[in-house]
Amino acid sequence: MTEGAVLELKDVTRVFGAGDAAVTAVSGASVALPKGELVLLMGPSGAGKSTMLQICGALLRPTSGEVWLDGTHVTALTEKQLPAVRLAKLGFVFQAFQLLANLTALENVRLVLEAKGRSKADAEGRAKALLDELSLGHRLHSKPATMSGGEKQRVAVARALANEPPLILADEPTGNLDSKTGAAVMRLLLQAVKERGTSVLCATHDNRVLEVADRIVRIEDGRLRDE
């Protein structure tokens, strides 16, 4: 891997379908993300942002090319090995929150910590502290259906931060939020970068978040253009 990079893609291509119906969603993408930066992935609808993020998060395999994550060559791993890598190295924040509906805010965050082997008491303490920090101390026992979009997204951010992963991948995290709430969520991600040294790769077509970025990577028709 490139020195100081948390994530590196080497000539990554992803094709969906075959024959006449084949769509090249990502084409020959090479990029190295430096540690401790907030990088925006910007481009029009259908450009390949979500596909890129899924490949970066080892949720989708590239058709060709290599993905390296915090020193690990993830494209060389088996399906069985991937969940442990995701748990150790990644946090995810999605546009549609993707919280578990039957669990409270506290339980949604605690689950990740328990999955990583922390005791229930330890996981609960850390989950509470994180939710408190994100101004959700009064929502610990609320279920997602009773929370506002901004509250749900803050729970998702807490969940992504819980394991202290080196990299957080966010796909349109402000897409379902009003501008004030969206700005607050971006500030939380920025705070993680500044205070914890986390790296964030965030797909967006929200121009309002431009000012918080250390770097912008543009994608168009599956091709990357660094700025």
Instruction: Tell me the closest approach of the beta carbon of residue 203 to ligand ATP, in angstroms.
Output: 6
Number of residues that bind Mg ion (CB under 5 A): 2
Cβ proximity to Mg ion: between 59 and 87 the closer is 59
Cβ proximity to ligand ATP: between 68 and 94 the closer is 94
- Residue the block writes with tokens 């431009």: 210
CA dihedral 8, 13, 16, 18 (to 10 degrees): -150
Instruction: Tell me the closest approach of the beta carbon of residue 170 to ligand ATP, in angstroms.
Output: 12
Q: Give counts: helices (H), strands (E), the chain.
A: 6, 10
Residue whose C-alpha is closest to residue 180's, from 214, 157, 153: 153
- Segment lying near Mg ion (by CB under 5 A), choices 35-43, 45-53, 110-118, 143-151: 45-53
Per-residue x/- track, 4-43, Mg ion (CB under 5 A): ----------------------------------------
Q: Are 167 and 91 in contact (CB under 8 A)?
A: yes
Residue whose C-alpha is closest to residue 7's, from 62, 55, 69, 53: 69
Is residue 25 near ligand ATP by the rule CB under 6 A?
Answer: yes
Beta bridge partners of 8: 32, 68
Q: Which DSSP category does 128 fall into? A: H
Is residue 17 near ligand ATP by the rule CB under 6 A?
Answer: yes
Q: Which residues would be at the binding site for ligand ATP (CB under 6 A)?
A: 16-17, 23, 25, 43, 45-51, 205
